[in-house]
Amino acid sequence: MQKLTYGKRKMKNNFDINDFNDSEVWDLICEGRTKGVFQLESNLGKHWAKEVAPRNIIELAATISLIRPGTLKAKDEKTKKSMTQLYAFRKAGNTDYPVEYLHESLEPILKETYGVLVYQEQSMKIAQQLAGFNLKEADDLRKAIGKKKADLMEEIKKKFVKGTQEQGTVSQKAAEEIFSWIEKSSRYAFNKSHAVAYAINAYWSAYCKTHRLKRFYKTYLNRSDKKPKSEIEIKQLIMDAKSAGIEVYPPRLSRLQTDFELDDNKNLIYFGLRHVKGVGTKECEKIETLEDVSEYSWMDCITKVIHPLKINKRAAIAMISVGAFSGKNNKESRRKMLYEFDSWKQLSAREQSAIVENQKEPSTRSKTLADAVGVLIENTKINSRRMETVINVQNSLKNPFYDLEDHAVSIATQEAKLLGCSLTCSKVDDAQVATDYCEDVAKGLKKKKISLAVVINSIRVVKTRNGKNPGQEMAFLSVEDNSGELESVTIFPETYAEYKNVLLEENTVMLFCEPSKKEKGSVIVNKAMQI
């Protein structure tokens, strides 16, 4: 099979839809690198993909079935572990949780799932083999469990117990125990045929992520608006892409496209305009009519894009704020462009049109908006009632009311608001106090002392159940810097009590940590301070 070089990866040129034996794909799943992978993209999916470590379609189908809420909540009475955890322990060969069956007759049916009842079909098969149920009766059992009707369940139970006695398979006591177990376990069981179909789709999805990485992210980012919380989805996908060595850049003059697009020569994806908050479909359609604008200056952007296309104010501000008008010949700060756009909007439509016409002629063409307004005053008859306003606009352009330099905090804040996450820089870039980065820590940085300058994305506060003082509050953080996201940050009760006033969502903080001994890529916070 021919191989194509794709970054540092080897990409298969042909895809055999029936081949489920790609070790790289299974490695990706077992390592929990499953953001964007069908059914396994959530934090829950990533966690249990690592815990269960499936290496074939049947095991993957079981994994997908076992991460449903019901199965996670269903407890084994003996071990007090969830059915999901019990399956993972037994599959891994944990001797503290040996594979056991209520009755030896159940082994052939449940061996595949390590004694855990995972599928509805298993319940039906037990009823057929032990109680002599036909297919209709077995399906009635499945339906009755799902509907949770006590009178119907009692009727089927009697039929089940009677059937086992007529078949001579198990004692009446064992039959009653098995039926009770089926009733509790199957309440949360999945349809196996459905699970296998899901597993096949999940494998294909993981295959694409393994061997078609850039196209994988491009496709999923463009479909992010189909998710209920699209901004969160975009952010998570971008952070995941960064961890895989693929950068996502904001829109640029050279890349003013509606959708996320690949840079074929680099590991780059450019942000799509329709995913920028404030830039609607109509504005995107206008932008699509443009030919090459990569050489445009800021004045060109005003007079050849914003004005003639009638880009609405909200969309123009959004595009400026995320750097969409920045390019080779436009090195102006975003803050300055926003300031000058506001000045431009103070001019009347007639005055704006006059400036546009002046820019077409070499003799009256200006490099700056301040100069363009000056030419307007000299060459255009302006209503006396408007003259004072126009002169004030010119003066404010020549002598701005405030600093027009860009700062990391303002850029990061605007990008986070309009793109879902900051791409150009991080809020902590100006701090320059950290010695370490989230990306390195997530990969297992080996240092006794770790310092991170981060933005807190989320915080989950829980109360301890055990220890010296049960009932105390501790916290788990998800944080980020410009290198990526770190999802596993632990703060124990004593530390949290001391620093809880600064440990707030969206706060920019300095964290002094030590690596967790239990989990790679996790840290424990010893000290925190506001930046």
What pLDDT sits at residue 2? 31
Distance between CA 312 and CA 493 in Å, rounded?
Answer: 51
> Which CATH architecture group holds 438-530?
Beta Barrel (2.40)
Q: Are strands 9-12 and 3-6 parallel, antiparallel or unpaired?
A: antiparallel
Q: With a cut of 60, say whether residue 3 has pLDDT above it.
A: no
Domain ranges of the chain: 3-186, 228-398, 438-530
- The secondary structure of 405-456 as a DSSP string is ---HHHHHHHHHHHHSS-SS--TTTTT---S--HHHHHTT---SSEEEEEEE
Cα–Cα distance list, 390 to 284, 301, 387, 436, 487 (Å): 31, 21, 5, 51, 53
Instruction: Give residue 467's pLDDT band: very low, low, confident or very high (50, 70, 90).
Output: low
Distance between CA 178 and CA 79 in Å, rounded?
Answer: 17
Q: What is the mean pLDDT of the chain?
A: 88
Find the mean pLDDT for residues 263-275. Answer: 90
Find the mean pLDDT for residues 43-72. Answer: 91
Find the mean pLDDT for residues 33-39. Answer: 93
Find the mean pLDDT for residues 526-530. Answer: 89
Per-residue pLDDT tens for 385-422? 899 999 999 999 999 988 899 888 889 889 989 998 88
**Rg from Cα positions in the chain:** 31
Per-residue pLDDT tens for 441-452? 988 888 889 999
Find the mean pLDDT for residues 222-246. Answer: 87
